[in-house]
Amino acid sequence: MDLMAVARLMRLENDLMAGMAVAVGYVVAGGTTLSVGIILAFLAVILITGAGNTINDYYDRGVDKENSPERPIPSGRTSPKQALYLAVALFFSGVAISYFINPLCFALALFNSVLLFIYARSLKSSVFYGNLSVSYLTASTFFYGSLVLGVNSAVIFLALLAFLANVGREIIGDIEDIEGDKKGGVKTLAILVGAGRAWLYGRLYILFAVLLSPLPYLAGLLSLYYLIFVSLADAVFLLSIATRNPRKNQKLTKVAILLALVAFFLGSLLP
C-alpha cells in the first residue's frame, strides 16, 4: 500500500481540520501557550479521525464501487485487509497518546474510537442515527481540545453550533449518494423521506445554527472579532442552503466551518 493510498484512506485534509478543531477548543477554553498536552491532543485526534475514515472505507467498500470507484479499496490500490490493519494501528496509536494527556482525554478518545467503529459497521446504514453520530464526533473534537485545560461556556456554544451545522451538512450530503446507497442497502434519511424533504431538514439545521451563532458575542463570552468572522461564516452557510446542488453545498459548508473556527479562535484570543 503506497503513501498516497494511505493519505486517501485517512482523508488527511479532514484529519487536519479535526486537529484544528482541537486547537480551537483549547484556545476557547483559555489556552494561550503551546503545551505538551495540546500537541499530544492534536496528534491523537488526527490519528483517530484517520482511523475512523479508514475503517469507514473498509465497511463501505461495496457501496463505494457504485458511489466512489476511485477510492483506494474499490480501485485496487489497497486491499480490504490492509485497510483494516491500518485502521486498527491508527486507533491504537491515537488512544495510547491520549493516555499521556489526562484521564478525561483518554476516556473521550477511547469512547469516540469505539463509536467510530460502530458507526462504520452499523450506524451509518441506520436512518438519522448515522448523521447524529458523525455530528457528535465532530462537536466532541472541541471538547477534547478543551479537556486539556477545562470546559467553559464558550466551548459549549462552539460544540452546539458545530453539531447543528454538521447534522444539516450530513443530511444534505446523503442526497448525492441516494442511488448508490439504495443498491448497497444503506438506509439514510434522504432515502426514507426523499430528496426534497431531506433538503428541507438539512437547511433547517444549518439555519438554526446561523440564528444561534451571535449568542456567544451577545453573552459576552467572545470579542467583536468573533462576531465579524462568524458573520462571514453565516453568509457562506446561507449560500450553501440556497443552492440545489448537494456537492456544492458540501464545499460551501466546509468553507463556512473553517471561517467559524477562525471566528472562535480570534474571538477568544483578541479583546
Cα(90)–Cα(49) distance, rounded to whole angstroms?
9
Quote the pLDDT of residue 179: 74
pLDDT by residue, tens only, the chain of 271 residues: 677 888 888 999 889 989 999 999 999 999 989 999 999 999 999 999 999 999 999 988 877 776 677 888 888 788 889 999 999 999 999 999 999 999 999 999 999 999 999 999 888 777 788 899 999 999 999 999 999 998 889 999 999 999 999 999 999 998 887 776 676 666 788 888 888 999 999 999 999 999 999 999 999 999 999 999 999 999 999 999 999 999 999 999 999 999 999 999 999 998 8
Cα(251)–Cα(239) distance, rounded to whole angstroms?
11
Length in residues, the chain: 271
Prediction pTM value: 0.89
Is 268 within 8 Å of 154 (Cβ atoms)?
yes
Quote the pLDDT of residue 185: 67
Burial of 212 (0-12, 13-18, 19+ CB in 10 A): middle
Domain with CATH 1.20.120 in the chain: 152-271
Q: What is the DSSP string of 63-94?
A: HHHHH-TTSTTTTTSS-HHHHHHHHHHHHHHH
Cα(174)–Cα(172) distance, rounded to whole angstroms?
5
Say which CATH architecture domain 152-271 belongs to. Up-down Bundle (1.20)
Three-state DSSP at 49 gives helix
**Fold type of domain 1-151:** Tetracycline Repressor; domain 2 (1.10.357)
Domain with CATH 1.10.357.140 in the chain: 1-151
